[in-house]
Structure 1
């Protein structure tokens, strides 16, 4: 009985210790943001699960913790990235960039000479034929040591390249010396004087190259700069404030495509929601028609697009809409003598994206409509028919007012989904056709989500900072537009009652 009594406390303690261990591991890996979030969640878990007064909080705390970890933290971290220069050229810390430069070496070609690896019982020696120098014996225990050279005659038991390759890590770690001369293995066949390419000269992080020139760290941009002002890569991550937002709103090569893409994103989301809603209701009404025969067959066929994985349907449509070899252009060419440029014409590309998205989205709306239609009392239609109302009047006076209120949250969530429908754009058009004269990768069918994805992951610069700023803007826009839609649709639903 005592074991059962203390089992919950023991489990809570074990979970707390596990979470604390994970937090410490993240701190050691310098993942400070995630580690701090996990520490706070661990503290909350310990307080709630060891307090009798907070017993009821145990039931909803996991959901709150999951929301904080998988929704709130990504939003906060992405927003933070938007205020930095984090990108493909600025992935490292300042210390890591310093180590990168100071660890580079230069080989003195004048001192370079060939060597041979010689076996000496269970040890090895290095023979330098040019200067007739032979090293003292060494083995794995001497890794990283300084080995003396001495004059000697041609040794026996010279080994081949295979043995040199086998022991290359050991050989590279050795320093051969004779008096003031120090040599290191510079390749699989030669040794030479190895000099540092860069040398740290003061506490500010300035570096001096072997040729005497100075590199100065610029903490405002996160790069080392030469005396002529040239920025050297790689750089390091620094806080840049609102610089990424200034680029969005003031740089012509970025502002113009963002404006066009934002307008298209709103149009794409609104048209997708309204069209799928209209098609879904229309098909649901048809399937509700009493005189229709074979309803089950039609219902199965109409639901199939929803049953097939979306990415498969998108890839199939990508082949069907191929402007050179696609079946759709073959049919249009045979019937009407036209072959639209689905992939190169901006208007046709947008039309294609909308058609595919409507095809993928209408089954969901149709299923919801079929359920909502069944909840409308038949007496309402009979009364309307007695008063002489036709099908269209019945739809706008009875059907739409009664199904619209429960549809409002579905339409808002569908709008938010289509506003960020990255998969459709990436798989179908990859954002193309590309816009000309932009400083970032942008296409006419790009929505904000795919535009951000291309900046962060497909552009050569991998500008995570700019992508983070755009993502933050997207989050705010979706929240504001969704709220406006919610208010408008509620008023519409009340007005139709």
Structure 2
């Protein structure tokens, strides 16, 4: 008797086999992906090490080892889903912030770009010409080149044919006459093309003197400009003066206090923070910018919330027709990216050709100096950012108002209350608590609104009584950016110190925000 379930059993086994094959393929694909990722990270570690970043390479290697152990060990199976997020937070948040904090304790700037060892090597590699030299011609021999030298006292020297690729030391041989035809020398155009590799050539005379290229037709005797002493100091070979490393100032210094360029990076402790709060040239602009930043963030949060909640209240009025159309139109400023809207407003507020000044001139006969007057420039910044930010507050307020029971408004209507009473006695008190964390978050976001200032005003109008670049509309973020990249000194360390202060302020606001959110959650 045949089994009626035989076909079903075969299909079940076939499906099971197919699922097993799919799982095997998936495991093999994940293993291959993991292997490729591992090799990529190992290559990155090698790149860090070759770039003379041993600490970064070591930390990356340790993190890679921990992540690999978690993924291959069954004991840490649950951690496999956490590792990507933790690694992303470490790479994109913790590491940049730590790097910024570290730079804030150094003198890193355009004058102190190199580490101490590299700065010392630059000085030791410098050479001075003694004025003695020889004219040269260059002759090509296949893929190699041969030099012919003529000294000032009509002595002749030739070199062996050599390729011009890396630094080459050519021993010169004294000859009575040059064994080359007059037309065999390469023209000046070819010498110019080969200038870079020719500069790597060191010609050594039979007497042991070293000559380097000093012009397109001449090699001159070069001597090291500096030499290292046994005690770690340097000697200026032209003057015989001793240079000592000033680790606090970041320069090799002569006995009279003159600095030898280039400077080097060094740790200066809290000097940058002390400069910010003690030196007048930094303290005054910092105080102005800090005050304006607080005012800007507070006023913008107030204006966006005020307009947003008023519009949300109006749009929740049941008797209002075409509410969906109004909602869509009022939402448009939030839908358009800021990097598009802000340049448009910059054109609208143009003092000469802007449409806003044209309209004001037509009706009132005035053309405000939006970018020249400090008060008007700040007003313009607030207007533009309020336009960009009110839709977010409007959407949040609409959602919170929807959650208020209608019975409260019905009871208020029976008591004879009007719209203003409903707004201030029912709507505003009930949404104040849940929206408070969002208002703090908005304040923190506006605190670091670099995009608005960079695209709209660039910080102008600038103050004329400060030595650092700062303007009336600069926020702390844009002020830091200008110190780091627009100031003549490009003081990266000072900018990082200011960034650290901003980070502490924003972190404090974040903690307050979390506390308020926790309180709201517990009360609900």
Tell me whether the two structures share a fold, i.e. TM-score over 0.5: yes
* C-alpha distance in 1 between matches for 2:65 and 2:161: 55
For structure 1, the residue ranges without an aligned partner over 5 or more in a row are none
The CA distance in 1 between the partners of 2:520 and 2:302, in whole Å, is: 14
Which residue is 1:39 aligned to? Answer: 61
Query: Structure 1 429/206 Cα, relative in aligned 2: closer, same or farther at 3 Å?
Result: same
Q: 1:401 to 1:486 in 2, by over 3 A?
A: farther
Determine the structure 1 residue equivalent to 2:172: 147
Cα distance change on mapping 1:232 and 1:182 into 2, 3 Å: closer
Name the larger-Rg structure: 2
How far apart, in 1, do the equivalents of 2:340 and 2:238 lie?
57
Question: What RMSD, in angstroms, separates the aligned Cα atoms of the two structures?
Answer: 2.9
Aligned counterpart, 1:324: 352
Q: Where do residues 120-159 of structure 1 align in structure 2 (5 Å cutoff)?
A: 123-128=145-150, 130=152, 131-140=154-163, 143-152=168-177, 155-156=180-181, 157-159=184-186
Q: How far apart, in 2, do the equivalents of 1:107 and 1:9 lie?
A: 62
CA gap 1:11/1:123 in 2 versus in 1, 3 angstroms: closer
Shift of 1:422: 0.6
Farther-moved stretch of structure 1 (485-494 vs 297-306):
485-494
**CA spacing shift, 1:411–1:36, aligned 2, 3 Å:** farther
8 Å contact kept, 1:200–1:208: no
Deviations 1:285-307 (A, max 9, x none): 22223333333332222222112
What do residues 232-253 of structure 1 show as CA deviations (whole Å, max 9, x unaligned)? 3321111101101110110011
Tell me which residue corresponds to 1:225.
253
Match of 1:104 among 123, 126, 129: 126
Cα 1:158–1:326 shift into 2, 3 Å: same
How many angstroms apart in 2 are the aligned matches of 1:233 and 1:153?
43
The number of aligned residues is: 495
8 Å CA contact retained: 1:201, 1:208:
no
Q: Could you report, residue by residue, the CA deviation over 1:399-418 in whole angstroms, capped at 9, with x for unpaired residues?
A: 22333333233222211110
1:50 is aligned to 2:72? yes
Aligned to 1:193: 221
C-alpha separation between the residues in 2 aligned to 1:208 and 1:239?
A: 26
Instruction: Give the superposition deviation at 1:442.
Output: 1.6
Instruction: Check 1:12–1:168 CA distance in 2 against 1; reply closer, same or farther (3 A cut).
Output: closer
Deviation of 1:5 after TM superposition, in Å, equals 10
Instruction: Give 1:83 deviation, angstroms.
Output: 0.7
Call closer, same or farther: CA 1:93–1:129 in 2, change over 3 Å: closer
Is contact 1:132–1:153 with CA below 8 Å preserved after alignment? no
Shift of 1:28: 3.2
SS in 2 for 1:55: helix
Distance 1:129 1:222 in 2: 43
Asked if structure 2 preserves the Cα contact closer than 8 Å seen for 1:208 and 1:215, the reply is yes
Aligned to 1:249: 277
2:442 corresponds to: 414
Change (3 A) 1:429 1:460: same
Closer, same or farther: CA 401–97 of 1 in aligned 2, 3 Å: same
Matches within 5 A, 1:44-443: 44-109=66-131, 111-119=132-140, 123-128=145-150, 130=152, 131-140=154-163, 143-152=168-177, 155-156=180-181, 157-172=184-199, 173-179=201-207, 181-443=209-471
Alpha-carbon distance, 1:392 to partner: 1.2
Please identify, of 131-140 and 222-231, the stretch whose mean Cα deviation from structure 2 is larger.
Answer: 131-140
| CA distance, structure 2, for counterparts of residue 493 and residue 317 of structure 1 | 40
**Cα distance in 2, alignment partners of residues 150 and 215 from structure 1:** 43
Question: Structure 2: how far apart are the matches of 1:256 and 1:239?
Answer: 25
Residue aligned with 1:353, SS: helix
Contact 2:114–2:265 under 8 Å retained in 1: yes
SS of match in other structure, 1:140: coil
User: 3-state DSSP class of the match of 1:193?
Assistant: strand
Task: Work out the CA distance in 1 between the residues paired with 2:106 and 2:209.
Answer: 47
Contact 1:48-1:57 within 8 A present in 2 as well: yes
User: What SS is found at the alignment partner of 1:192?
Assistant: strand
Q: Provide TM-score, normalisation by structure 2.
A: 0.86
TM-score norm. by structure 1 comes to 0.90
Mean alpha-carbon deviation: is it higher for 225-234 or for 200-209? 200-209
Q: 1:158 to 1:475 in 2, by over 3 A?
A: closer
Instruction: Give a deviation string over 1:328-373, Cα, whole Å, max 9, x none.
Output: 2222222222222211221111111111110111111112222222
| Contact kept? 1:196, 1:210, Cα under 8 Å | no
